[in-house]
Structure 1
């Protein structure tokens, strides 16, 4: 019996899992977990966001994020500020010590990407990134419209 080729979903999941695993391996010496790195990176892109907004962006439960932020705050990497309009809301900002850590994360991420893209030309790597951006846009639109994406946009795998 012929083995089936992995589906797009399974293949993307496995590649993402392996990227995370490899990043964790090379960042072990940094003292931060992948989840902490991810929270820092998203906060750097969305500074001034509140905790619930960051949890939504990270697609994790607020209580999970709270524990991650506790550790980052204890390390002096983030600051939590009370929202002037609602004392229950915490606004997040990077502490000055986070900037060098983020530079370290970028270098670790670049190492991981370089390893993942070994064997691809620069043009192939750029094409892959552009293709993944299109998939992200398509799926974001499909999710936003409740799965009612246009049938005319569908792509069919050619028969062998």
Structure 2
């Protein structure tokens, strides 16, 4: 429901859900390759390749050569992405403020602690090679 609500509130950014999610993950993990980003987004690498092509075309993402592998490229946010991400975080903050408004600070801390524990336990159950590192940040 949160994702659906968020999608409704960011339509003016002209980004698909997949695109804004990719930008958010890249903002936390610049320098990823497309395969790692595909794992984080839980999609196939070819899907991410097309997604990144579109983000490159609108100057939100840059591909740069991987210094350790001449066949690979790393993904970085372009300068223009800063403004888009600022708006994404602003909308996220507005939504979280609304949905958590009836909770005390202590209840919010407890909720975050419990959800973090669930996430950690779930991550331990995942097969090796599947990363939950992008989800370990507080946004």
TM-score (norm 1): 0.74
Alignment partners' CA distance in 2, 1:52 and 1:91? 10
Alignment partners' CA distance in 1, 2:111 and 2:81? 31
Q: Structure 1 stretches (4+) deviating beyond 4 angstroms? A: none
Matched with 2:92 is 109
What SS does structure 2 have at the residue aligned with 1:89?
A: strand
Alignment partners' CA distance in 1, 2:12 and 2:65? 33
**RMSD between aligned residues:** 1.6
Q: Does structure 2 conserve the Cα–Cα contact (< 8 Å) formed by 1:82 and 1:89?
A: yes
> What is the CA-CA distance between 1:128 and the residue it aligns to?
0.6
Q: Does structure 2 conserve the Cα–Cα contact (< 8 Å) formed by 1:19 and 1:116?
A: no
Alignment partners' CA distance in 1, 2:110 and 2:51? 34
2:22 corresponds to 1:43: no
List per-residue Cα deviations over 1:56-87 (Å, max 9, x = no partner): 12211111112221121111011012224434
Alignment partners' CA distance in 2, 1:129 and 1:109? 16
Alignment partners' CA distance in 2, 1:35 and 1:141? 25
- Segments of structure 2 that go 5 or more residues without pairing to the other structure are 129-139
What SS does structure 1 have at the residue aligned with 2:126?
A: helix
Matched with 1:56 is 39
> What is the CA-CA distance between 1:144 and the residue it aligns to?
4.9
Find the structure with the greater CA-based Rg.
Answer: 1
> What is the CA-CA distance between 1:108 and the residue it aligns to?
1.0
Matched with 1:150 is none
Alignment partners' CA distance in 2, 1:85 and 1:138? 33
Number of residue pairs the alignment of both structures matches? 128
Structure 1 residues 79-88 or 38-47, which shifts more?
Answer: 79-88
Matched with 1:23 is 6
Alignment partners' CA distance in 2, 1:115 and 1:88? 46
- Segments of structure 1 that go 5 or more residues without pairing to the other structure are 1-17, 146-160
